[in-house]
Amino acid sequence: MTYIHNTIARLKKTSPAQAEFYQAVEEILDSLQPILETNEKYKAHAIIERMVEPERQIMFRVPWVDDQGNVQVNKGYRIEFNSALGPYKGGLRFHPSVNASIIKFLGFEQVFKNALTGLPIGGGKGGANFDPKGKSDAEIMRFCQSFINELYRHIGPTSDVPAGDIGVGAREIGYMFGQYKRLTGNYDGVFTGKSLLWGGSLVRKEATGYGCVYFAQYMLEDHNQSLAGKTCLVSGAGNVAIYTIEKLYELGARPITCSDSSGTLYHETGINLATLKELKEVRKVRLAEYLQYHSDARYIPASDYPADGHAVWRFPADLAFPCATQNELTAQDAQALVANGVIAISEGANMPSTQDAVEVFLDANICYGPGKAANAGGVATSQLEMAQNASMQTWSFAKVDEKLKVIMKNIYRNARDTAVEFGEPNNLVLGANIAGFRKVADAMIEQGVV
């Protein structure tokens, strides 16, 4: 523990005021104690000291002109964290909450998540404190072009391949790719999440949500359970949540909640997927408008949430899928889930449960799929897009979906088997962290002190 405390203390000095980053590092290092205690080589090669420091941190201003002719300035980031296993891979997030701490925590998590996929990709993350909401297409295009005017110098199909994240979908990827192509003269697979018209992959939009459900399916099967007939709580209303809900219906479950930044929707008979897609993918409006179509549903505004957590987790159910954002699920939420009969949690978002909430799940001995394992389907399918681009092929929806299922099964088995190896068979947090760490750390040792 002294080793871990010293590492965190050093980070707080060299990277001040980055609470989310410290949280991510501490959570992983706590899990690594068993392997660090039995393998002196990791200390001898200063693997932890190197692993918690990004290989490269790029921060830059992004000036752009709004529709009124006013100059606006945002801050852009790309954190290239670790390339021991392959090119940096990780999304770009456009959201007003973006700062160095958020991007570093996401990049650090990405290293382990990408290692778990078994695919040849390193870890990175990026974004800007730009809010696409309320902006015109022309404003978003100008912002994306300005963002790439700097970032293009640092990315490439064999060095760093960004993707989408919160606030960055096919539209934003298109504008950024177009500017990259214009600046470099290259038509290559430098982004994933592209349109199907020009190099994108089927299933990419659905992949994180689908993968999250597949992971839950494999957890349940190991405990002689299935998704069929299960009542499910889902948070969020973006891509991850929508396609988690879609796959849950396909596998016989009934999702009864979703949420956005304004409030939570509860529909006892099941969330109407067609209405949800119309509101969020077509009209891009608040969930409150769902009640205009389904008067039997209930909407809880964020102002009415319990002081100690989120309304979405306070309904009786069998399964929970946090698919919104980091630290959305508190210890009190976790206690409510356990008290209300939830038997499994599969995280679609990155670090959506606070550390105290995770402890509640582990103490209750229920199935808990941490985000770095359960939500790895998105980045895995991004790598499948890279493979299609490199070979100039396009695979069918069924082929990509089948590859995704296999990858998620392998991630689950790897995390489970590692947890068993270290004497905690139900602790997939420990299993996922050690499995990912061991792969990256051993590659780093083989590649020398770099």
Helix (H, G, I), strand (E, B) or coil at 244: helix
Of the candidates 114, 49, 104, the one whose C-alpha atom is nearest the C-alpha of residue 83 is: 114
Residues in the chain: 450
Residue 125: active-site member: yes
Decide if 55 contacts 126 (C-beta within 8 A): no
Decide if 150 contacts 159 (C-beta within 8 A): no
Of the candidates 47, 36, 348, the one whose C-alpha atom is nearest the C-alpha of residue 209 is: 348
Decide if 152 contacts 116 (C-beta within 8 A): no
Query: Dihedral (C-alpha) 289, 292, 295, 296: value to the nearest 10 degrees?
Result: -40
- Residue 407's alpha-carbon distances to 115, 118, 119, 393, 412, in angstroms, are 12, 8, 9, 20, 9
Alpha carbons 241 and 212: distance in angstroms, whole number: 10
Task: Please say whether the dihedral angle defined by the alpha carbons of residues 262, 267, 271 and 277, taken in this order, is positive or negative.
Answer: negative
Decide if 274 contacts 280 (C-beta within 8 A): no
Residue with tokens 């990912």: 436
Alpha carbons 212 and 376: distance in angstroms, whole number: 8
Lookup: tokens for 344: 């499994």
Alpha carbons 426 and 188: distance in angstroms, whole number: 43
Task: Please say whether the dihedral angle defined by the alpha carbons of residues 384, 385, 391 and 394, taken in this order, is positive or negative.
Answer: positive
Cβ-count burial 346-368 (b if 16+ within 10 Å, e if not)? bbbbbbbbbeebbebbbeeebbb
Of the residues 125, 230, 280, 439, only one is catalytic, namely 125
Helix (H, G, I), strand (E, B) or coil at 236: coil
DSSP letter for each residue of 354-397? -HHHHHHHHHHT-EEE-HHHHTTHHHHHHHHHHHHHHHT----H
Task: Please say whether the dihedral angle defined by the alpha carbons of residues 404, 407, 408 and 409, taken in this order, is positive or negative.
Answer: positive
Active site residues: 125
